[in-house]
Structure 1
Amino acid sequence: MKPRKRMMSLGLSIANLGYHYAAWRHPDVPADGNMDFRHFVHCARLAERGKLDGIFLADSSAVRDLDRPAIAREMEHQIVKHEPTALLTALAAVTKHIGLVPTASATYNEPFNLARQLVTLDRVSHGRAGWNMVTGFSLDEARNFGLDKLADSDTRHARAAEFVTVLRGLEGGTIDHEGRFFRVRGSLGLPPAAHRIPIFTAGESDNAQELAARCADVVYGGQPSIEEARAYYTSVKGRLAKYGRDPDELKMMPGIMAFVGRTQQEARDKFDRMQALIEPRLGLGLLTVNSFPDYTGHDLDGPVPDLPMPGGRKSEFVVGALAKAKREKLTIRQLYELVSGGFWHLGMVGTPTMIADLMEEWFTTGAADGFNIQPPCIPVDAEDFIELVVPELQRRGLFRTEYEGATLSDHLGLRQDLPMAEVA
């Protein structure tokens, strides 16, 4: 049989109203869309029209940083959201092809309940379910489940590895499992799944990369540069052999956030318009919660003052942003625009050709197998990407023009008879 040509995998990440913190203020974005099912129907059908692999719903089992009064809660659209598995099960009834990937924690769920939900979603959608596996990283989540502190990384990732083993057993029928974290004996009360539900995950720690190499089908990356992405790609794929897996059995899909215009100026105008919608109190609050100094009371259009840093280890993003502010003599307003703009992952402001060039370079030089599209505003920037960038990728032979299979695994080009590694 002729080998299948390598194609990009593309997913649409529906982060409520978009990845830009001021997305809800855009005149063409429904400010109440988070609670409006029609908003999600439109987004899902849009992704399907673009022949994308799937839609991805990020989630957290908490409103984070409740102890931080500096955050302008009334200006954050991300905190109001539906439970993703239930929402995607409803969307399965109004779509035909698009994959459906909810986020659920392996730390704050039981494998029996989640397996039942996912297999139901898979059967309702005729094979289009996936699972974005997270382990949780915030104290706010732990508190919602009766815990006073977050479990350490080793414990959370060991639990997740055993969770997957139990879930895979439940997918296949009856299981009799007794391990460190779970004791499960029985059946889901459903026929065995026809195939393995693809597992998505993310994370750059050594534990996260080992978990991905052991049992993930897709890794959602967050590297802002091609050099970092190549290093991460090589690191994760280099761990697969110890679990009896080939590099092609795992798709690396970094996030991409793009402002797309038919001309460079049009793209820049879209970006500038969004930056102008950031409310100062929201911007200052985001600096504070991300461990920048508190600049309240200082001139927003004056240079970033050299203030003492809050205690604790600083992320590379914070250190890099402050170095950029000093080097380029940024104002406080420009600094919070840098943070609030959402370019924590790969970001670009440009034409369809420029964005396709960038994606092709990442795809062909060992940095990505595809991308999760992270629109600044949903649906408007998602529409721009699908109407302008996707056709350019198709013209270059990098992305499908029609669906060739029926399931999410088909779209991703994943085999279904892969052996599962047991928990050591």
Structure 2
Amino acid sequence: MSTPHMSLGAFLMGSGHHVAAWRHPGAWNGGGLDFEHFKQLAKTAERGKFDAVFFADNLALMGSPELGQYTTAGDVFDPLVLLSGLATVTQRIGLVSTVSTSYNEPYLLARKFASLDHLSHGRSGWNLVTSATDLEALNFGREAHFEHGDRYQRAEEFIDVVTGLWDSFEDDAFLRDKASGVYFQPGKLHTLGHRGEHYRVRGPLNIPRSPQGYPVLIQAGSSEPGKVLAARTAEVIFTAQQTLANAQAFYADVKGRLAAYGRGPETLKIMPGISPVIGRSQGEADDLFGQLQDALDPRVGLGLLAGMAGGFDLSGYDLDGPLPELPVSNAMQSRQALFIDLARRENLSIRQLYLKVAGARGHHTVIGTAATVADTLEQWFVEQGGDGFNIMPPVLPRGLDDFVDGVVPILQRRGLFRRDYSGSTLRDHLGLQRPTNRYA
């Protein structure tokens, strides 16, 4: 099945996506561990009929302590724990979390997401990442992060193990028959017995098959290994694209790879990130963005660029000079390439570059009225720049309120977005098939 409308995810961060958002007078001031704040955000997104809320994650305090004191990096929930709470206070909206394959074990991850899918009655999604930095490696007994190619090879095997574990029980395995004393049918239980290059996992999983069969499989890598993995296994891709032309090229590239794996284009949803800065007038939107830009500490801006460049220190360079040649990063290679392309294409200085990406870390920013934002989303959707969008409000809660109350009604009137949910699971919202158990 397929959906005639665009998909929308609400990518949530405590005070907003602009790296200086927490300093804005209109931003949430209660810190990143206030459940009531996230509860209200999730309810707002559900009121707007979003497909899902999404939380990113890192397994380290990103940046140095000296830099971290100017950011909110040390004040965040473990997203799986947070989503478990949100599952109990929402009814329909999907619940998506980033979890790394580099520093987790397949059995534990499979069990946690299956649990979340049961807890939420079929609303969970896993954003697979391979982690990006040595800071994360140092928290797991390694001196350096896995090489880029190696970590994608591990991810290939990891996802095969996880999906195999999710098929441990067939859908109708559990009888729970008090009269006979039979709880589940042993013939419908399957032991994986995986012995691969990176993992040895016997199985089976100790939880029934989840309501969706598998939680929705999402990826965010746009490098060549990332696109290969996504074409084989992903059902949604979160991607950063600065221009419609780049988004169209990425869309055509990845969709064009699906046939080699026996897949049709409807089996994969591509959702670029969009950060909408919304005002009642263009001037009001410009003013809001200007306030956020003025609050950005140059040290944080340089730290942002360093993070995307694998830790390369730019502090010794003239901020008003050009971006120097950078070594290929072992971290987020596709994001580094995006930054470099942006700087060269628009002839940006280092200062101009970090100001350009401070709002959404390389994702496309739209500044204007609700109609302006709706026009952009419509153009990208109709012209095959994406099947939907991961919405990244610059300031919260205002940014999500403005989108739900201003942009969503316009998209609904144009027939581009649902007026109500037609199903109960995240797969229903996205128009994705429920996978068949491989043993059935």
Task: Calculate the aligned-residue CA RMSD, in Å.
Answer: 2.4
1:367 partner SS: coil
Where 2:237 maps in the other structure, the secondary structure is strand
Matches within 5 A, 1:349-364: 349-364=367-382
Output one character per residue of 1:311-370: Cα deviation in whole Å (capped at 9) or x when no partner.
6247452464367466xxx7x765543343335111110111111111111111111000
Residue aligning to 2:32: 34
1:23-70 deviation digits (Å, cap 9, x = unpaired)? 11122222333111111111111111100000111001112343xx7x
CA contact (8 A) 1:292 1:310 kept: no
Q: Is the 8 A contact 2:101 2:129 kept in 1?
A: yes
1:187 aligned residue (188, 192, 204): 204
Note the C-alpha offset of 1:6.
Answer: 1.2
Match of 1:309 among 313, 324, 328: 324
What's the CA shift string for 1:88-110, capped at 9, x where partnerless?
Answer: 01110111011001111111111
| Superposition deviation, residue 111 in structure 1 | 1.0
Q: Which has the higher mean CA deviation after the structures are superposed, 387-396 or 150-159?
A: 150-159
Identity %: 43
Q: What is the DSSP-based 3-state SS (H/G/I as helix, E as strand, rest coil) of the residue aligned with 1:151?
A: coil
- 419 and 367 in structure 1: CA distance in 2 versus 1, 3 angstrom threshold: farther
Work out whether 1:132 is the aligned partner of 2:127: yes
Tell me, what secondary structure is at the counterpart of 1:220? strand
State the distance in 2 between where 1:95 and 1:272 align.
Answer: 35
Match of 1:118 in 2: 113
Normalising by structure 1, we get a TM-score of 0.89
**Matched-pair contact (CA < 8 Å) for 1:44–1:91:** yes
Q: Return the offset for 1:154.
A: 2.6
Aligned mates of 1:346, 1:165 — CA distance in 2: 33
Q: Which moved more, 1:343-352 or 1:48-57?
A: 343-352
Structure 2 CA distance for aligned equivalents of residues 293 and 160 of structure 1: 31
Structure 2: gaps (5+ residues)? 169-189, 329-335
Higher mean C-alpha deviation, range 400-409 or range 79-88: 79-88
Q: Are the aligned partners of 1:200 and 1:216 in contact in 2 as well (CA < 8 Å)?
A: yes
Aligned-residue offset at 1:153: 2.5
Deviation at 1:193, TM superposition (A): 2.1
Give secondary structure in 1 for the equivalent of 2:416: coil
Q: Relative to structure 1, is the Cα distance of residues 169 and 205 closer, same or farther in structure 2, using a 3 angstrom cutoff? A: same
Within-5 A mapping of 1:16-415: 16-66=14-64, 72-173=67-168, 174-176=190-192, 177-194=194-211, 195-286=213-304, 291=312, 293-294=314-315, 304-305=320-321, 309=324, 312-313=327-328, 315-318=337-340, 320-321=342-343, 324=346, 336-342=354-360, 344-415=362-433
Check 1:324–1:242 CA distance in 2 against 1; reply closer, same or farther (3 A cut). closer
Alignment pair present for 1:9 and 2:31: no
Cα distance in 1, alignment partners of residues 135 and 313 from structure 2? 21
- TM-superposed deviation, 1:166: 1.5
How far apart in 2 are the matches of 1:283 and 1:189? 46
Structure 2 length as normaliser, TM-score? 0.86
Find the residue that maps to 1:59 and give its secondary structure. coil
Q: Quick check: 1:20–1:376 contact (8 Å CA) kept in 2?
A: yes
Tell me the distance in 2 between the aligned counterparts of 1:249 and 1:334: 39
Cα distance, 1:153–1:336 mapped onto 2, change above 3 Å: closer
Q: In the TM superposition, what is the alpha-carbon distance from 1:224 to its structure 2 partner?
A: 0.7
SS at match of 1:255: strand
Q: Say if 1:148 and 1:11 are closer, same or farther in 2 by CA, change over 3 A.
A: same
Residues 285, 108 of structure 1: alpha-carbon distance in 2 compared, 3 angstrom cutoff: closer
In structure 2, what is the Cα distance between the partners aligned to 1:20 and 1:49? 24
Count matched residues: 405
